[in-house]
């Protein structure tokens, strides 16, 4: 049986569709109930959470020029 691998070159929706199709196929093979779209989406999010992106703010000292806080 093929194992799902998250492809970072694809969108989350594309990855979800591939995963859901594979999950449905596996469930059919083992005579298990298929997940509803909502159940599938919730499970996918648990298994493959969004990658955290840096929310850092990079600030240079240009704003200090001409102010009391200008570094000399």
**Would you list the domain boundaries of the chain?**
12-64
Question: What pLDDT is stored for residue 55 in this prediction?
Answer: 61
How far are the Cα atoms of 46, 59, 61 from residue 16, in angstroms, in the given order? 12, 37, 44
Question: DSSP readout, the chain?
Answer: -PPP---TTS-HHHHHHHHHHHHHHHHHHTTPPPPPHHHHHHHHHHHSPPPPPP------GGGGTTSTT---
**pLDDT per residue as tens digits for the range 21-72:** 999 999 999 999 999 999 999 999 999 998 766 666 666 777 677 776 676 6
Whole-model pTM?
0.69
HSE value, Cβ hemisphere, 13 Å, CA-based, for 21: 6
Question: What pLDDT is stored for residue 72 in this prediction?
Answer: 61
Question: What pLDDT is stored for residue 53 in this prediction?
Answer: 62
């Amino acid at each position: 049986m093929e194992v799902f691998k998250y492809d970072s070159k694809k969108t989350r929706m594309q990855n979800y569709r591939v995963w859901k199709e594979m999950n449905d196929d596996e469930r059919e093979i083992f005579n298990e109930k298929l997940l509803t779209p909502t159940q599938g989406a919730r499970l996918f999010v648990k298994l493959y959470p969004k990658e955290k992106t840096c929310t850092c703010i990079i600030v240079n000292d240009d704003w200090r020029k001409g102010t009391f806080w200008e570094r000399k």
